[in-house]
A and B are shown apart, each in its own frame.
Chain A
């Protein structure tokens, strides 16, 4: 049910995503993440259009980590920051990180070896029902996403919402 993709630019490095619904312990999870006890980024899936969006953010985070140019303190916070269309770090966490009352969560892990141990660590911590990662599109709040990324109706005539989101994430540092 999880989805693992290798980063072509960083051979051996992989990104694994796990999606959970009916989550009961979001507040505990968030606290563990803040304390660094969870080895992953906890993302609010309503702000995601597709797992590809997460991959784009993760690839950029690993790139910036490699060249020592991250804007935040850890790889996982950098992934969340990269999802945001703006350069405001606290706003990025508010919109794209999970909040205490959330009932769904996307967990993102960057790793280089086999993921089985990592996955069981995560699934043991989340009190919720794991669902296929592709189901994230059924949780997305398209209206909120369009508003936050300032996607114009004209733009949707020449591409998908995902295209619009990806472009802004890739370009935000030079806007």
Chain B
């Protein structure tokens, strides 16, 4: 159907921020406000019908996870609009925010300890809501200066691979993904990451089973790499 305007036309004029494997990220304005658009594009190697179904499901799951987090008091970008036809999500742009990744690269021990403490708490709370993020990295955590109190707010982004699960195994793997990303992005931070895990352990009474699974997954990872 030929259409004037619509999401596709707006994205043509928008600034491309990132070209990922599954989605593109654009910066634009939505109803006068700064906004980020995440567009899932068709994957040619998949059957068109299957591809459509998958994009539909991932888009729906992404916005559901965001709402589930927000309901529990975990910051995530506000969802402004979902176009289920072009698989686009319009999100609040966190203007002036920086990634935890950049923060770690430019701050000292005491501040980093406090940050690790905070990240551990929030991930514990997210897992208590049975949200599995699916792609935890220090780039998918933003720091936003609070408007009133000047306090820094930690905002989780990119729930594109998220799902709902109560299984300690899934939560353990979620942490394992973060550990791998964390230690490879930030060399020599084993002690800092341990502080994050300690904070996670203290913040949830379901953490013991999750951390046990994390240990098992690490062991499996190591065995696999030994076998080659």
Contacts and interface: CB of A to CB of B under 8 A. Distances in A.
Interface residue SS majority, chain B = mixed
A67 B72 CA distance: 34
Contact of B73 (A157, A163, A166): A157
Interface residue SS majority, chain A = helix
Contact of B5 (A10, A157, A173, A174): A10
B64 interface: yes
Interface of B: 1, 3-7, 9-10, 28-33, 60, 63-64, 66-67, 70-76, 78-85, 90, 92, 153
Given A11-B5, A159-B75, A170-B82, A164 B70 contact: yes
Nearest to A156: B73
A173 B84 contact: yes
26 contacts: A5-B32, A8-B28, A9-B5, A9-B10, A10-B5, A11-B4, A11-B9, A12-B5, A13-B5, A55-B32, A56-B31, A59-B30, A59-B31, A60-B81, A67-B1, A152-B71, A152-B73, A155-B73, A158-B73, A159-B70, A159-B75, A163-B78, A164-B70, A166-B79, A167-B66, A168-B67
Interface string A47-76: 000001001100110010011000000000
Contacts of B29: 8
Contacts, number: 94
Contacts of A164: 70
Contact of B80 (A56, A155, A174): A56
A34 interface: no
Nearest to A10: B5
Nearest to B83: A63
Contact of B6 (A5, A60, A66, A167): A66
A155 B75 CA distance: 9
A159 B7 contact: no
A8 B66 contact: no
A155 B79 CA distance: 14
Contact of A175 (B9, B64, B81, B90): B64
